[in-house]
Structure 1
Amino acid sequence: MNRTLVVIPHLNNLAGLQRSIADIDPDEHVDVLVIDDGSEPAPAECDIAPYFRGRGNLWLESFPVNRGIVEALNLGVNVAQDNGYAFLARLDAGDRALKARFAIQQAFLEKHKDHVLVGSWVEFIRPSGEHLFHFRPPESDAKLRRALKQYNPFIHPGVMMSVEAIGRAGGYPVDYPALEDWALFLELKRFGKIHVLPRVLLKYEVAESSISSRRRREQAASKVRLLWNHFDGTPGAVVGLVRTFMVYCFPRHILNQLKRLVYR
């Protein structure tokens, strides 16, 4: 068994799932768990297993009906805990892990045992593969802790986390719909340091059918609650609330255009 479990939730995007699995580098020593959340039709393991070329095992768990992303993710956490994995990495159907991404992140966490979460820079792309912009958040623990008061500097399908720390945090919370990742990261930093590797290790597909696109207003409402519950009165915390209202008011395509101008 490998030390890292890659968890991929899936819902009605078999082609994207197959592409993401095929993009995992053949030299990666990882196991992969696909959790189907009530797709119609439901995929079978034979639909995805031939695409995996990594040095590990791949298997499929399926919910007969849609239960939501949080329940799927927490199933992945439970599997990681029950099987003794040290690290849990994330990937979403349609996204592309670049060469040696998981090996690089695992090596970092093994070397820096005081860290519980590591992300990377990310390239945002259209489903066609067209480049949109690069997301380059700060790298250091101190800067990331300040950033978390304003926005989420970690792209969820691009992170790797300590399984032990996720357990101490209580898994993915259910109180912040469509924002369970940010809420978890805010808890994880209580148990160790956090870091972003200054290199692009993931291509993130921006699709209108994605959860972040379909549930923007739900996310914005969750952000208000999340930032308010962690509000400490600092200027950064105030800026975070203002940014949240902007996300709530502006359409997704306008925000993407603004990001392209800012990040390029």
Structure 2
Amino acid sequence: MTRNETGPLDDVAVLMPVYNCQEDAWRTLASLRETAPLRVLVVDDGSEPPFAAPPARDLPGLRIEVLRLTPNGGIEAALAAGVEHLHAQGVEFVARIDGGDLARPGRIAAQRAAFVTAPRLGALGTWAQAVSRDGRPRFVMAPPTEAAAIRRVRFARSCFIHPAMMLRMRAVRAAGSYRDRYPAAEDLDLFLRIMREWDCANLPLIGIDYELNESGISASRRRRQILSTLRLQCVYFEPGNPLYWVGFAKHLLHLLTPYAVLSNVKRMLRPRESASRPIRR
């Protein structure tokens, strides 16, 4: 373990948008276990009743702030508001997580340490253990780790797990932050803009347990997400990259494939991983 991994995290904040998910968000907050105090911004996007943070005595390692937005404006607006709020407070690195997902111990510190030796790094993710709503391990999500590989295959496969990302604030602001131009693909839109000037990579370790929820955002907004991704492919046209065309064909096929069928295929193709496996150093 490096000195940076056990040092302070004063320049880092966790950004978690929530909407009517009090219990899930509390479980997520309880999973944030680091070796140094950690700041967390919860953006309550018009929840009814409003989100209430757990008592400070229950999570002494966290300094939790709640930013309330009304009415509900969607995740894109919530993330943009959170970034602006944290920028005003001088935060240099934003770690993402969503309500229901669980952070592995040391995930934030490991990502922060990686930025120290990579000044051109604008965004850094991790791998993830996909789990069911009751916590059963389903499959491992292991996107490419190297920036060059990500640039080559970025439309042929998913290269980032949004709630496992840490973002350099300067890169996010220079790219124009989150926006709602590409509904349900606000994360890919941002990462592609960051990649114009910065590198994006992933650590080869499992940083979160990613909750699969068939009724959640990935299922209900799937069609809009695919259409937005196809629009982004048109913006970042790469006719000489064979993997670009593989991705284009794949996304067209996904439009015609039921979500449950697609999930089963992915589960069969991905390796299993114990949900109790610790973060790798």
TM-score calculated relative to the size of structure 1: 0.95
Quick check: 1:49–1:59 contact (8 Å CA) kept in 2? no
Alignment of 1:139-218 (within 5 A): 139-218=145-224
Quick check: 2:175–2:193 contact (8 Å CA) kept in 1? yes
Does residue 9 of structure 1 match 2:17? yes
Residue aligned with 1:76, SS = helix
For 2:85, the equivalent position in structure 1 comes to 79
Quick check: 1:22–1:53 contact (8 Å CA) kept in 2? no
Residue aligned with 1:128, SS = coil
Quick check: 1:115–1:193 contact (8 Å CA) kept in 2? yes
Shift of 1:150: 2.2
Match of 1:30 among 7, 31, 38: 38
Q: 1:50–1:37: structure 2 CA closer, same or farther, 3 Å change rule?
A: farther
Q: 1:53–1:154: structure 2 CA closer, same or farther, 3 Å change rule?
A: farther
Matches of 2:19 and 2:65, distance apart in 1: 16
- Unaligned runs of 5+ residues in structure 2 are 1-8, 272-281
Shift of 1:73: 0.1
Residue aligned with 1:66, SS = coil
- Unaligned runs of 5+ residues in structure 1 are none
Quick check: 1:8–1:35 contact (8 Å CA) kept in 2? yes
Matches of 1:92 and 1:169, distance apart in 2: 22
Match of 2:247 among 233, 240, 245: 240
Quick check: 2:37–2:63 contact (8 Å CA) kept in 1? no
Matches of 1:208 and 1:175, distance apart in 2: 25
Shift of 1:127: 0.8
Shift of 1:221: 1.1
Residue aligned with 1:185, SS = helix
Residue aligned with 1:57, SS = strand
Q: 1:115-159: per-residue Cα shift (whole Å, max 9, x none)?
A: 111111111111100111101111111001112132331100000
Quick check: 1:52–1:58 contact (8 Å CA) kept in 2? no
TM-score calculated relative to the size of structure 2: 0.89
Aligned pair count? 262
Matches of 2:60 and 2:161, distance apart in 1: 24
Q: 1:86-124: per-residue Cα shift (whole Å, max 9, x none)?
A: 101100000000010000000001221121111111111
Q: Greater CA deviation, 1-10 or 68-77?
A: 1-10
For 2:5, the equivalent position in structure 1 comes to none
Q: Greater CA deviation, 198-207 or 19-28?
A: 19-28
Percent of pairs identical after alignment?
A: 33
Q: 1:29–1:151: structure 2 CA closer, same or farther, 3 Å change rule?
A: farther
Question: RMSD between aligned alpha carbons?
Answer: 1.5
